[in-house]
Structure 1
Amino acid sequence: MPSNSENDLALVLHKRENCMDEIIERPRPKNKLEDTLPYSRSTLDRAIQDLCDANLIKYSNGRWKPTLLGEHTHKIYCEYLDQLNSLADVASLIKGLPVDSPISGDVITNASTYKSEGSAPDLVLDVLFDRINDTNIVCVATPIITLSLLEKFRKQVIEENKYSLELIIPDNVFRKINSSRSNDTSLLIKSDNVSLFRHSLPFEFGLWLFDNSTVGVVIFTNHGIRGVLLNDSTESISWAKDQYETVVQAADPIFSRGVPSPIRQQH
């Protein structure tokens, strides 16, 4: 539990944030701070005194400047605010996920968020395909596969030979698309660029891995796609690899003429 001094430090920095920002940006004398801050002289005096008492700033050579503690504390505080803001952006996308969803905080923190448009929700998936330009292998585990997504895979993987695809879908989803789009699924199964697996998924979102360097998470609704998260942090990639490997190791490969695709052997 934080000590009183730690609590005091956080409270002072929160209360005197604007004054600290100005001193961090450019150390200056008090009269110059008066020119840039919308404070009365008495309020500025109290702000400076509070920051001094907390050992966040000091007076040196005619200027107020941050201490070493002040520099580090301000940096951590700004990073904390950035994380809160990023979580606020993510909130509307993940609100439909269950409380016990395995999605990691490492993925949603500082993720790039993309919300779907009501009239054409599938278009948000373009942010995933934009990442594919410099990718060799794309691994996808998804509980839902739309027709537009199936067509994209067929065009880019089979016709254009852009990348190799490893795809895990539930058995009922495979049966459905194989029934309605048997030509597409047959092409995917037969392609040397595709490894197709079927298995139930322990999560409600779509999980994408691009060369083990970027993570994509597709959030679905009952009627389509809510949006996409992208994250390339080391922690998010580690989480995604663990989730994906757990599923693919238990999945059943769908072979063409009993011959597996070589992609899994490349991992």
Structure 2
Amino acid sequence: MASSVSEIADVVLKRRNILEYICEYQPDKRTVVENLPESRPTVDRAIRELEDHDLVERTDGVCKPTYTGIIACELCEDFQDSFKMLTETGAELASLPLDAELDTSVFLDGDVFHPPDYAPYETIEPMDEEIRGGEELVAVSEVLIPHINTILEQGMIDDVDVTLLVNDEVLDVLLENQPDSIIPHIESGDAVYRGIDVSRYSLFLIDGEVLYTGIYSQTNHLSSVIRNTNSQAIQWAKDHISGLREGATLLTV
């Protein structure tokens, strides 16, 4: 009888280190015992369980993963990486409202950056460099941070396409304090939107391929930034930005 999803998940999580070792080395049982800290009885039980769920098979004494076992091992690694990212951003995420709408794909295959926890905000160098090298830049933010200024500067270059979506407060600050940086974009026909409604996070999409997601503390300090290139996260960002556009106001001269 085929194993249920919960049964496979349980055995993979329970026997993860042994499954990973078998996937990488395809050893015999003795080699597993010699190179892992588990006792021989534990290894025996683990291999039997992995075999029972068609994750591992033994041929002439050699333990080999099935294709299902390889995929299960990779999924487990993704699961661990995602939860590692949750621990790195946990404090900020815990303070987000329940309607924040961040997609889980944002936490897959990403890198986390932590800006200094004091003002004035400093740019995150990898993000700043990618923005300066981009040709199609989209920024969604309810907080004014230096990266918005970088995007506006890039937008003054003829072959760089800029879309800016901000809340009314950020736009008012830009119009009052930095009219020379924002008004030319509105006059040139760049897509500048006001009145967006997001919940303490920012999105920066570069060339439709790289996504930076900024997460704010309860005091609106940019506490964590996640860089992501996986296709699910990129597609979610595109769809989410499209939805925000529909509810915002496009500024025209």
| TM tier, smaller | 0.7 to 0.9
What is the correspondence of 1:62-141 to structure 2 with a 5 Å cutoff?
62-119=61-118, 122-141=121-140
**Superposition deviation, residue 19 in structure 1:** 2.5
- TM-score where L is the length of structure 2: 0.80
Closer/same/farther in 2, CA of residues 166 and 53 from structure 1, 3 Å limit: closer
Query: What percent of counterpart residues are identical?
Result: 21
**Superposition deviation, residue 52 in structure 1:** 3.4
What does residue 211 of structure 1 align with? 207
What does residue 34 of structure 1 align with? 33
**Superposition deviation, residue 154 in structure 1:** 4.8
What is the correspondence of 1:138-153 to structure 2 with a 5 Å cutoff?
138-146=137-145, 148-149=146-147, 151-153=149-151
**Superposition deviation, residue 128 in structure 1:** 2.7
CA radius of gyration, larger in:
1
Alignment root-mean-square deviation, CA: 3.0
**Superposition deviation, residue 142 in structure 1:** 1.6
Deviations 1:88-118 (A, max 9, x none): 3332342321011122222233332211112
**Superposition deviation, residue 36 in structure 1:** 0.9
Contact kept in structure 1, 2:132 and 2:151, CA below 8 Å: no
Q: Which amino acid aligns with 1:57?
A: V
**Superposition deviation, residue 134 in structure 1:** 4.0
Deviations 1:114-169 (A, max 9, x none): 111124562244333222244212122221224x44543454333x6572322222
Contact kept in structure 2, 1:136 and 1:164, CA below 8 Å: yes
SS where residue 121 of structure 2 aligns?
Answer: helix
Contact kept in structure 2, 1:90 and 1:108, CA below 8 Å: no
Q: Does 1:248 align with 2:242?
A: no
Q: Which of the residues 186, 195, 199 maps onto 1:199? A: 195
What does residue 173 of structure 2 align with? 176
What does residue 230 of structure 1 align with? 227
SS where residue 109 of structure 2 aligns?
Answer: coil
Deviations 1:2-37 (A, max 9, x none): x97544433333333333222222223333223212
- TM-score where L is the length of structure 1: 0.77
Could you list the runs of 5+ residues in structure 1 that have no partner in the other structure? Answer: 259-267
Q: Which amino acid aligns with 2:44?
A: D
**Superposition deviation, residue 81 in structure 1:** 2.6
Distance 2:109 2:44 in 1: 36
Q: Which amino acid aligns with 2:197?
A: L
The size of the alignment, in residue pairs, is: 251
Runs of 4+ aligned residues of structure 1 deviating over 4 Å after TM superposition are 3-6
Distance 1:211 1:38 in 2: 47
